[in-house]
Structure 1
Amino acid sequence: MAEPVWITGIGLVSCLGEGPEAHAAALAGASPVVDEESFAPFPVHPLPALNLDRQIPKKGDQRQMEPWQRLGTYAAGLAIDHAGARGLVADMHLVVAAGGGERDIGLDEAITAELATLPPAEAAARLNERLANGLRPTLFLAQLSNLLAGNISIVHGVTGSSRTFMGEEAAAADAVRITAARLAEGRGGIALVGGAYVAARWDMLLLYAASGGLLRGAWAPMAERGEAGLVMGSVAAFLVLETASHARARGATGLAVLTGIATGAARRRGEDSAEASAAGLAARLPLRPGATVISGASGAAAATAAEARFLAGLPAPGPMVRSAESLGHSVEAAFPANLALATLVVQAGAPQALATGFGVWRGEALALVEPVA
């Protein structure tokens, strides 16, 4: 990187609470907060109670957002406040990793119940009719992925350039990588980057369940889950990234230096494996023995095993924290959350922290953070 990039603000919300202090518990192996009843047989890590008025003061703004948009907008405000950057939002760039919008579950259930009573010849025509007449036009607008960025701009006044990335876990890693690269190259001084995911959604749970990957029944540590090891978690994570010169000029304190970040997307077939991809990424970072690892292992069996093989090949890795044990797996929010936890590790005195990301189906990422000199 041409100029050092600092992390100057963290906005982090999960089942453990909000803010850096609440998430220090994750690094100490906190007992997870799990809801095993609401979406049985699938356990999820739920959101804590949030006072949305603190970051989204207008009730009208809150009502028009879907839950994942409210959560992301809330965490973005936390990051801005943590960085002391409220006066800089007009020039702050915004990069968001987002999934699709939330479905109208009530309508889905009504349609499927009706179709179950019809012969196949009539079902297709009735499906088209019900979708045309039942879906609200505003639902399609609410499902636009770039509306999280739009709501952050409206609520917090972030009016620099705006970009939204889609593509599950890999979208978040690339969002951070490209944001850091643009700052380091001199295309801006400060940026806000992150993502949000709400696990309490039947549509997404059933999607992951169809692959056979979701844990069923009682929560268990990741090592005891077997082939079906995913437990989803509601998480939002945003980071304020800033060039060192920009931060120094305004008297800001860097939380950590983002020393390097690298991303890849192995086919995960034959020699083009996830662990080989990650090993190639690690070779591009100034990684030293003993670095603390914030593991992006999700619990998905193949990806988690690939990460374990990659870590076994590192020269004397240090202590490891599996974030999904405490927070659950949060797709687009997972990598920014791991990077936030890595920052907390460095603040606590670790000389280096390596955040990893291994997507459930595709995408590998590594980010290295170090103390500000």
Structure 2
Amino acid sequence: MAKQSVVVTGIGLVSSLGEGVETHLRQLAGASAPQPIIEAGAYAPALVHPLPPIDWSTQIERKGDLRQMETWQKLGTYTAGLALDDAAIPEDEAFRSTIDMIVAAGGGERDETVDALVMARSRGAEDPRADINELLMTELRPTLFLAQLSNLMAGNISIVHKVTGSSRTFMGEESAGISAFHVAASRIAAGQSRICLVGGAFSAQRKDILVNYELGDYLLHAPWQPVFSRSGKGGFTPGAMGAFLVLESAQSAAERNVPAYAKLGFVAGDRGPRDEEALAARLSRMFADSGADARDLMVLSGATGLQPITDVERRAIAARYPDAALRAYGNAMGHGMEAQFGMGLALAAAAVSRGAMPAPADGGEERPADFTPRQALVTTIGHVRGEGVGLLEAIG
């Protein structure tokens, strides 16, 4: 069977900038870079890009479904619905039963109130195990156990949106998102899938996960700085976000008579030692394999701002694409772990479809560009491990 072209026919986006393709393009491709929306006080010393106000009921109608979901599942289910609507997927259950799904998910959410109660009861106790067991049995809502299962995001999407084809869930921070899109695109290209809903979500406004990142010394503290201006050890600002795309074979899109945003020409991921030479070599190889044309190229970097990996990425891009328009989309919306790569692909597809160039961030590391992007290279370098590269190309 001949290799199928993979196109993007639907995009669902939510970040601190708002929701939807138009909202994001309007702010990112304006005369100047948008002022980042940051919550600094509630999670000090961490800086967090919060969720915008969302009416969950527009995509998740049943109150019972909403009650059993924590924020990250609501966000993923909501954003998936936006992508399906954007791709003009009919609500017919028979049709939706043919749609495959791949989700990149984290480890769920904790009940912070119960955590605090457990710690308070345990403090000073000689053997707190009995108290802990009692609290877990009496204080935790039964539905919270569902919220802690990674594959329940896919389950909720299936229940709410009736997407009941094959389903896969990948878990593992940025690498999960990279693998999700790599597998989805590969299956469509090989003729093993026609339409696939793929993406992830990240709830950043969680004290439990912020403590983990702080203990690892990964977080940026005030004052906020653009990604490529972060010196010393650097750091990232967690960003609440959801990004789902409908990937489809070009033949299927033509048969459905729906327009495509862009062609997904390449997706690859890798991982290995994080010494500077080895990381640079892996990135250079993926850049070469992508086939990206250096002329009129936009590079949307999902860099964290952590050093030295951010500088390694920037140097590798400059070496191969010295004239590319480099933009770090984390400046506007933060770092979204499992959703980070999908967010970059979504923004790239939307930008090349409209010929829109995001404005450069302050700091001087991002230069103005006077061309209309026809290709966009997307990168995501995981904060600990995993690297991914994707190429979006304009259609026509």
- Is 1:200–2:223 an aligned residue pair? no
Q: 1:235 to 1:81 in 2, by over 3 A?
A: same
Verify the 8 A CA contact 1:303 1:361 in the aligned structure 2.
no
The match for 1:153 is 158
- Which stretch of the first structure deviates more once superposed, 135-144 or 167-176? 135-144
Q: Secondary structure at the match of 1:91?
A: coil
Verify the 8 A CA contact 1:71 1:196 in the aligned structure 2.
yes
Q: Distance in 2 between matches of 1:277 and 1:131?
A: 45
Verify the 8 A CA contact 2:301 2:328 in the aligned structure 1.
yes
The match for 1:115 is 122
- Is 1:77–2:81 an aligned residue pair? yes
- Which stretch of the first structure deviates more once superposed, 251-260 or 305-314? 305-314
Residue pairs, 1:230-269, within 5 angstroms: 230-269=236-275
The match for 2:56 is 52
- Which stretch of the first structure deviates more once superposed, 183-192 or 123-132? 123-132
Tell me which amino acid in the other structure corresponds to 2:293. Answer: R
TM-score by structure 1 length? 0.94
Q: Distance in 2 between matches of 1:357 and 1:223?
A: 14
Verify the 8 A CA contact 2:228 2:328 in the aligned structure 1.
no
Verify the 8 A CA contact 2:68 2:143 in the aligned structure 1.
no
Verify the 8 A CA contact 2:81 2:161 in the aligned structure 1.
yes
Q: Distance in 2 between matches of 1:243 and 1:74?
A: 24
Verify the 8 A CA contact 2:230 2:306 in the aligned structure 1.
no
Q: Distance in 2 between matches of 1:75 and 1:39?
A: 25
Structure 2 residue aligned with 1:93, among 87, 100, 110? 100
User: Deviation per CA, 1:147-167, whole angstroms, max 9, x where unpaired?
Assistant: 110111111110111100011
Tell me which amino acid in the other structure corresponds to 2:16. Answer: C
Verify the 8 A CA contact 1:27 1:321 in the aligned structure 2.
no
Distance apart, 1:220 and its partner CA:
2.6
Q: 1:282 to 1:270 in 2, by over 3 A?
A: closer
Tell me which amino acid in the other structure corresponds to 1:199. Answer: A
Verify the 8 A CA contact 1:2 1:185 in the aligned structure 2.
yes
Q: Secondary structure at the match of 1:30?
A: coil
Distance apart, 1:323 and its partner CA:
0.8
The match for 1:17 is 18
Q: Distance in 1 between matches of 2:338 and 2:193?
A: 24
Structure 2 residue aligned with 1:325, among 324, 331, 349? 331
Q: Distance in 1 between matches of 2:294 and 2:3?
A: 25
Verify the 8 A CA contact 1:293 1:317 in the aligned structure 2.
no
User: Deviation per CA, 1:129-151, whole angstroms, max 9, x where unpaired?
Assistant: 65466545543232110111011
The match for 1:178 is 183
The match for 1:39 is 43
Tell me which amino acid in the other structure corresponds to 1:308. Answer: R
- What number of residue pairs does the alignment pair up? 370
The match for 1:316 is 322
Q: Secondary structure at the match of 1:212?
A: coil
Q: Distance in 2 between matches of 1:333 and 1:86?
A: 25
Q: Secondary structure at the match of 2:289?
A: coil
Verify the 8 A CA contact 2:236 2:304 in the aligned structure 1.
yes
Percent identity of the aligned residues?
44
- Which stretch of the first structure deviates more once superposed, 84-93 or 283-292? 84-93
Q: Secondary structure at the match of 1:86?
A: coil
User: Deviation per CA, 1:246-281, whole angstroms, max 9, x where unpaired?
Assistant: 00011111110001111101221474x322211111
Instruction: Give the root-mean-square deviation of aligned CA atoms.
Output: 1.8
The match for 1:7 is 8
Q: Distance in 2 between matches of 1:48 and 1:247?
A: 32
Distance apart, 1:51 and its partner CA:
1.3
Structure 1 moving runs of 4+ over 6 Å:
none
- Is 1:300–2:306 an aligned residue pair? yes
Structure 1 residue aligned with 2:352, among 342, 346, 349? 346
